[in-house]
Structure 1
Amino acid sequence: MATKYERYPTVSISKTVSVYPKIIHPQKVLNLSNLDRQCPTLMYLVFFYDNPNLLSCDGYKSCNDLSLNSVFNSLKSGLEETLSMWYPAAGRLSLNPNDGKLNLWCNNKGAVLVEATSQVKISDLGDLTQYNEFYEKLVFKPDFDGNDFPRMPLVVGQVTKFGCGGYSIGIGTSHSLFDGPSAYSFLSAWASNSAINTKQTSHDHHQLLITPVHDRATLLTLGNYNSQSGVNNSLLISKIDHVITAANNSNRNNQYDVPQMKARGSVGAAAIDHLLQLLIQASTNGGNIASSSNIFNQKYCSFVFKTFHLSSSLIENLKREVFKDGGFSCSSFEVLAALLWKARTKAMGLRKEAMVCLQFAVDTRNKVAPPLPAGFSGNAYVLASVALAAGELERIRHKAIVEKIRQAKDSVNNDYVKSYMEGVQGPRQASLPPLRELTLVSDWTRMPFHNINFFSSRATHVSPLVPPIPQIAYFMQNPNDDRAVDVRIGLLPDNLDAFCSYFLAAIAQ
């Protein structure tokens, strides 16, 4: 059945070029950490900018007649300059033939930049904060079969000029190359190096002063840590595969093998312990765990993405309400994560005795010993985890949930990161199915992507596209209020109305 977005005219690509570093570096292999290898796919953002020719001349805004060709050439020259310092971004992922692990081959193969046009006006897209399938046409998606890593560029960009004179810049960066903060620094450097800006702001100069550090030595040392707990952590990924396989078979031996794994010991990282327990729970209770990629893709295509706008005043009221009886204060993230977890779990209609889990990303740059250097450009996030019975989660107050979230966050230290990295160790990553019992949250509020000035003003809006894990909830800074939060979450249609009802009721308390 045709979607409502198919009424839009197609996006026409007029130019596709490879972009190489201005300064060529000697080729070398950059060893990746286990955190880099978790998700070797492109993560996409689409930046929207109003017609730059309508902006007034106020000292830094351009009033020149910018053509698509001049914008494209400016982005290209800026990317050439940026790749000179961020040279791994011009490389390719490569499988080590000895252990099957991914590393980064810094071979100067370059990025890809595309020029495109559309007759659509940005105003035709409606509320830009609500995900729109048309956004998928505003990024360049290279052909990739999941295995041919040497052919896959790590950075791709597409500049599209709309019928109204506005622009979008859709950018994909490999998650094996960058996490959120390092992607933010890379894109800020690219914007600062592009000649579209007639005058750089102090923020841009600050980004230029940050020298990226590409070496993963500290995390590689942690990843080589040998546990004395008796658990063979290198087999945890295969254990997850075994749980999934056992859950999808009906023979008695496999049903017996699954619960045995729980008794083999804990790895010390709660996120991985809890994930294994959720998979075991789903298998032993007759759950249908979809290890087949075809089944997963069917579910993936069904997800609906909804954004909720939470003003700064509303968030402050929520924090006061949660702690009206006194005690410590909490962050916006903690209170919103508590409300979302409770609302989503209730919307799933789970058994009260079922184990449910909230997992959220924690930046470890200052949590490992020694701390990662300023400008570290790789992945430095691990997942923290809270687990409760569904009935208990529904019963306890939000204050108690916030306290558990804070405890989980505080538990992430050097030893936790060591255990986590062991837990995700392996020649490849397991393909995890979507679990109704698992709520995932990623906090982007400290990465205001809309402030990245590819033109002479900040973006009207920046939208992430569908992520590899579609049910994840993003907390994003609102472009018009830096203390407000936009919450975007992916849900299956059967759960959408219930979640909206419970979540809106929670924030209206």
Structure 2
Amino acid sequence: MANFPSLKVIEVSKVSPPPTAAAPISLPLTFFDLFWLRFYPIQRLFFYEFPSNQISSYDVIVSKLKSSLSLALCHHLPLAGNLVWPSQSDVPVIEFVEGNGVSMTVAESDDDFDHLSGNGFREVSDFHPLVPVLTVSHDRAAVIAIQVTKFQNKGFSIGITNHHAIFDGRSSTSFIKSWAQICMEESSVPTPKQVPLYNRSVINDPKDLAKIYAKAWKDVEGPNNKSLNLKFPQTKHGLVRSTLEFTHQNIQKLKEWILNKKIENEKFDSSSHISTFAIATAYLCVCTAKLEGLKEGKLWFVFAADARTRLKPQVPLNYFGNCVVAGFVGLERSELLSENGIILACDEISKAIRNLDDGPLNGCESWGSRMSQEVTNDYLKMQGISLAGSPRFGVYNIDFGLGKPKKVEIVSAESPYVFSLTESRNSDVVMEIGVVKKRDEIEAFVGIFNQGFE
């Protein structure tokens, strides 16, 4: 790993589960996993402040993080393995053999901890040194990599990079919570809710979607291209990150305004429930339309939804892997810019959520080929707004024994078209929104966002 100007790498080691845990395993990918096969990895960053009495014991903290990670891997053996695509297999598999482990980097940074873990404008590139690179080649890919970085005597960060084809946000958060629990309690037993379920038979695949999606990837750049190399979007320079907050008061204000308008105007349905998610994302769509001004055509909004409770039969919540479906909403820009823009957006988003409840896999036969084409074309068609994360994951409750995180960032969400969503440390705030844009655009967007609540 290269040393960045403000980063000094102290060591890179491999953390393995205890030998007693290490029965070899092989786990095939499902169609939910294969959808993401060459998609860029997910990178999360947790900032923790040092309690005043802990400054001198950073080495102890690192040692505890390593030993608890080893114990957490007992229950998460696939994470210590590698993704491979055996010649005789239709789909890639995760293989774990004794001796496998997770790469952990320990580093020190002289960057400004308070600035990076704040809400204000921060250069996107300042976060890159703090998240580890996943080791990936044509025929083998690591599942996860971890980096712990100390900032002078202020605090430290834990950067986690994971392969998107191995698990979704629910599963990855569940693993991090399990690791933190073991670290805090110095016990090796996860709670029953945290014990992951790896049984692939709970994912029903009567249409053989796994083979269809696998073939779509193999057809990219060859008739039988089993490459596991990941495709990264082109780097955009000069991007700035900022965190905006939806307070309870903001959401309540928007909700009341929408309901009053619906009661006044008979063409709107005022009977159906409006979720906080629909209000918040509709508002982000309106702000985006205002920032971009009147353009031709539609503004597309794409969101992921957990399919575990939507599938029939339902998939247990502790199922470990990917299990998300996508909702698509096309909004006329001219309508978004009208006085009732947020109502129209809210109704369309609510309708898309209901459609997912009724038929989560509608149109799924074509998903694999669409994704493989878009990733191969450098994500160029992905110009609609999309989301990363969820306020339901509870990332601000992840305590390794040193208190809750000061800040959580989704570093991989660094496109002007992607908003990241998390809950907040602050009880007045319903959710935090991570926004990335060029400096002049982000300044304008923040102004539009704040103005709308007045």
The two structures have a TM-score, normalised by structure 1, of 0.74
Assess, with a 3 A threshold, how the Cα gap between structure 1 residues 128 and 75 changes in structure 2: closer, same or farther: farther
Amino acid at match of 2:14: S
Contact 1:82 1:190 (8 Å CA) reproduced: yes
Alignment of 1:336-485 (within 5 A): 336-349=280-293, 351-352=295-296, 354-395=297-338, 396-413=340-357, 415-417=359-361, 419-420=363-364, 422-424=366-368, 428=372, 430-431=374-375, 432=377, 433-435=379-381, 438-442=384-388, 444-467=390-413, 471-481=417-427, 483-485=429-431
Alpha-carbon displacement from aligned partner over 1:385-433 (angstroms, at most 9, x marks no partner) = 1113322333344223211111101111474326326522599564153
State the shift of 1:454 in Å. 1.5
Q: Residue 30 of structure 1 corresponds to which residue in structure 2?
A: 27
Question: For 2:279, which of 320, 335, 342 is the aligned residue?
Answer: 335
Secondary structure at the aligned position of 1:478 is classed as coil
Secondary structure at the aligned position of 2:450 is classed as helix
Assess, with a 3 A threshold, how the Cα gap between structure 1 residues 236 and 39 changes in structure 2: closer, same or farther: closer
Query: In 2, Cα distance between the equivalents of 1:429 and 1:71?
Result: 44
Percent of residue pairs bearing the same amino acid type? 20
Unaligned runs of 5+ in 2: 222-230, 264-269
Alpha-carbon displacement from aligned partner over 1:425-453 (angstroms, at most 9, x marks no partner) = 59956415345851112451111212101
Query: In 1, Cα distance between the equivalents of 2:353 and 2:425?
Result: 27
Alpha-carbon displacement from aligned partner over 1:349-390 (angstroms, at most 9, x marks no partner) = 4534x1331111111111001111231111111110111332
Assess, with a 3 A threshold, how the Cα gap between structure 1 residues 219 and 208 changes in structure 2: closer, same or farther: closer
Assess, with a 3 A threshold, how the Cα gap between structure 1 residues 91 and 392 changes in structure 2: closer, same or farther: same
Amino acid at match of 2:33: D
Query: In 2, Cα distance between the equivalents of 1:301 and 1:96?
Result: 38
Q: Which range moved further: 213-222 or 331-340?
A: 213-222
Query: In 1, Cα distance between the equivalents of 2:371 and 2:335?
Result: 38
- The answer to whether the aligner puts 1:11 opposite 2:11 as a matched pair is no
Query: In 2, Cα distance between the equivalents of 1:425 and 1:468?
Result: 24
Q: Which range moved further: 459-468 or 486-495?
A: 486-495
Secondary structure at the aligned position of 2:152 is classed as coil
Amino acid at match of 1:366: T
Alignment of 1:156-305 (within 5 A): 156-194=145-183, 197=184, 207=191, 209-219=193-203, 221=205, 224=208, 297-298=234-235, 300-305=236-241
Contact 1:35 1:421 (8 Å CA) reproduced: no
Root-mean-square deviation over aligned CA pairs: 3.4
Give the structure with the larger helix fraction: 1
State the shift of 1:334 in Å. 0.6
Secondary structure at the aligned position of 1:297 is classed as coil
Q: Which has the larger radius of gyration?
A: 1
Contact 1:140 1:158 (8 Å CA) reproduced: yes
Q: Residue 267 of structure 2 corresponds to which residue in structure 1?
A: none
Unaligned runs of 5+ in 1: 1-7, 55-62, 227-231, 242-292
Secondary structure at the aligned position of 2:316 is classed as coil
Amino acid at match of 1:141: V
Assess, with a 3 A threshold, how the Cα gap between structure 1 residues 94 and 198 changes in structure 2: closer, same or farther: closer
Question: For 1:135, which of 127, 132, 137 is the aligned residue?
Answer: 127
Q: Residue 282 of structure 1 corresponds to which residue in structure 2?
A: none
Contact 1:434 1:471 (8 Å CA) reproduced: no
State the shift of 1:455 in Å. 2.9
- The answer to whether the aligner puts 1:311 opposite 2:302 as a matched pair is no
Assess, with a 3 A threshold, how the Cα gap between structure 1 residues 501 and 123 changes in structure 2: closer, same or farther: closer
Q: Residue 88 of structure 1 corresponds to which residue in structure 2?
A: 78
The two structures have a TM-score, normalised by structure 2, of 0.82
